[in-house]
Structure formats: structure tokens, C-alpha cells
């Protein structure tokens, strides 16, 4: 029977570390880290995420700046706001909540954010730095997953690691982080043949495919660490992950639940990145 990895607990520990360090820095330098979050339109899920980020800022002692723009906002107007935030010394991190309305090119917006304020680590410069292992920021979800793996006491070095999913937000950076820790990494996706054969060899399995209950018990190696990144809603309204939880818990040594696993970590790592940005911009080492 798997040990359930408590994402809420690990997330709270990360936030507490950030809060304590922030308190020390505010006392010493008289300045607070500041995070600007921009939301365009009225997407209900985006509004929940933005509210959660605002609450997290309050918890750790950051300044929070919210910019709620209308659905009709043009790309030029959003780019103008990003440039203003790039120049604002009170703002250490900038996050534009995705998705944005169809008249806006999200790549153009991401590329306009100053790399040193890109606390999502989506800017091509930061993506390149992750590739070569010389990064200041890590994408929040993969970074949170590494914290969850570390919380198990399992050493990634030498382990067979399988990532299902090749998105720029989770799959690709996740593979790089495991590789930087000397894991032997395989990336699987919709075109992968004999998927179950590959996943069954994984000591560490990360599922980020976006399909409910996609990973079944017979795809999991006995004693594996299984990280479920999926957040899917069933017809009955219940949330579930990419991994069949009931089957997986009989095979895995460690398993993240949905909800309460990877989800809480993402915002905690955003706070950690914002603190890092504050220190870099103020030359605090």
C-alpha cells in the first residue's frame, strides 16, 4: 500500500521557509518582494488561480499587485502594461495568467516579460538556462514535483524516470530537472509505442497527460514513486488525476493524490521564485 505524499503539507513548509526569509529581508533592507499578476477576461478558473496567488502573497508577506483587464483588451495594451511592470522597481515578479483571449498572442506576451522578472520561467531565455543547468527560476509545477520527490527521501540519481507528456509547461522541463539530478529519463507521449512496457520500468513515474485515469495499475512498477500532475473533472463533477488512484496505491511505494498533491505546490514555488527574483534584483546573495 502506497504512502500518500501530502502536497498541502510540503507546500505549507515551502511557504513558511519563504515567509521567514522574507521577514528577515524586510527587517534588513526595508523592502518587500512584489508580485504582479495580470488577468485578462473573465475565465472562472483563472480567477480562482489569481485569488489563490493573492492569498499566498499575503501568507508569505509579499506585496501583491493585481491587474484585471477586460476581455476586449488588445495585445498592444497588454504589452504596454508589461513594459510598465518591467520598469517598476516595486514589482519583482510578473505573471500573466493564461489562457489569454484569442486576439492576444501569448508567446508575444511571454517574450515581452523581462527574463529577470519571469517567475513562471516561460521566457525563451529562462527555458534555455534550464536546458544548460544555469537557471535562476524553474517552472513552478516541475519545481514543485521535485520538492515532492525529495520529501520521500528517494534519491533521483541513477533511477529510471518516465515522464508521460511533452508540454512546455510540465513535460519537457520536468524531464530536464530529473536529468540534472542524474536520473535516466524517458519522455513518452501520444505517439509512443508500447507505453505500458516503458512505464512499468519506471522507478519514478510522472503523469502529465491530461486524461482521466489514463495510468492504470498494470502500468506501474511495484515500489515506484508515482506523481500525478493531471487535474480532470469526471461527468459526476468529481476531480481526478491522470492516474487511477485506487489501482496505483496497491503498486506504488509513494503516490500523490488529486486534489492535494501537485496542485498546492505550484503556487508555493511561485512564491519561492518571486523571492529569488527580489534577491537577484537587489543584489542580495
Residues marked as catalytic:
53, 97, 120
Interstrand relation of 3-4 and 254-255 (parallel, antiparallel or unpaired): parallel
DSSP letter at 99 equals: P
Report the distance separating Cα 60 and Cα 62, nearest Å: 6
The span from the CA of 260 to the CA of 93, in Å, is: 26
Helix (H, G, I), strand (E, B) or coil at 161: strand
Three-class DSSP category at 95: strand
In angstroms, rounded to a whole number, what is the distance separating the alpha carbons of residues 204 and 257? 15
**Radius of gyration of the CA atoms of the chain, in A:** 19
SS3 state at 2: coil
Say how many residues make up the chain: 285
Strands of the chain, DSSP E: 3-4, 34-40, 63-69, 93-96, 160-164, 184-188, 204-207, 225-228, 232-233, 239-240, 254-255
Report how far apart the first and last C-alpha atoms of the chain are (Å, whole number): 44
Alpha-carbon gap, residue 164 to 10, rounded angstroms = 23
* DSSP secondary structure letters along 212-278: TT-B-GGGS-TT-EEEE---EE-TTS-EE-SB-HHHHTTT-SEE--SSSSSHHHHHHHHHHHHHHHH
Amino acid at each position: 500500500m502506497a504512502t500518500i505524499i501530502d502536497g498541502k503539507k510540503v507546500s505549507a513548509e515551502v511557504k513558511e521557509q519563504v515567509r521567514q526569509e522574507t521577514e528577515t529581508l524586510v527587517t534588513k533592507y526595508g523592502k518587500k518582494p512584489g508580485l504582479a499578476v495580470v488577468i485578462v477576461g473573465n475565465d472562472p478558473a483563472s480567477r480562482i488561480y489569481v485569488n489563490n496567488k493573492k492569498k499566498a502573497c499575503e501568507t508569505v508577506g509579499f506585496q501583491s499587485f493585481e491587474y484585471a483587464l477586460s476581455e476586449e483588451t488588445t495585445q498592444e495594451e497588454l504589452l504596454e502594461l508589461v513594459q510598465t511592470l518591467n520598469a517598476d522597481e516595486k514589482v519583482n515578479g510578473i505573471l500573466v495568467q493564461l489562457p489569454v483571449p484569442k486576439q492576444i498572442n501569448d508567446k508575444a506576451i511571454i517574450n515581452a516579460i523581462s527574463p529577470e522578472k519571469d517567475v513562471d520561467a516561460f521566457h525563451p531565455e529562462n527555458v534555455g538556462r534550464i536546458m544548460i543547468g544555469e537557471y535562476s527560476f524553474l517552472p513552478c509545477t516541475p519545481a514543485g514535483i521535485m520538492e515532492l520527490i525529495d520529501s520521500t527521501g528517494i534519491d533521483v540519481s541513477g533511477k529510471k524516470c518516465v515522464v508521460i507528456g511533452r508540454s512546455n509547461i510540465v513535460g519537457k522541463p520536468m524531464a530536464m530537472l530529473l536529468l540534472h539530478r542524474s536520473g535516466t529519463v524517458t519522455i513518452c507521449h501520444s505517439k509512443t509505442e508500447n507505453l505500458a512496457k516503458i512505464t512499468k520500468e519506471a522507478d519514478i513515474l510522472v503523469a502529465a497527460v491530461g486524461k482521466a485515469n489514463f495510468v492504470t495499475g498494470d502500468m506501474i512498477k511495484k515500489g515506484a514513486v508515482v506523481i500525478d500532475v493531471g487535474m480532470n473533472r469526471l461527468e459526476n463533477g468529481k476531480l481526478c488525476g491522470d492516474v487511477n488512484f485506487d489501482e496505483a496505491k496497491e503498486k506504488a511505494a509513494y503516490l500523490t493524490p488529486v486534489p492535494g498533491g501537485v496542485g498546492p505546490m505550484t503556487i508555493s514555488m511561485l512564491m519561492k521564485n518571486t523571492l529569488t527574483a527580489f534577491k537577484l534584483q537587489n543584489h542580495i546573495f
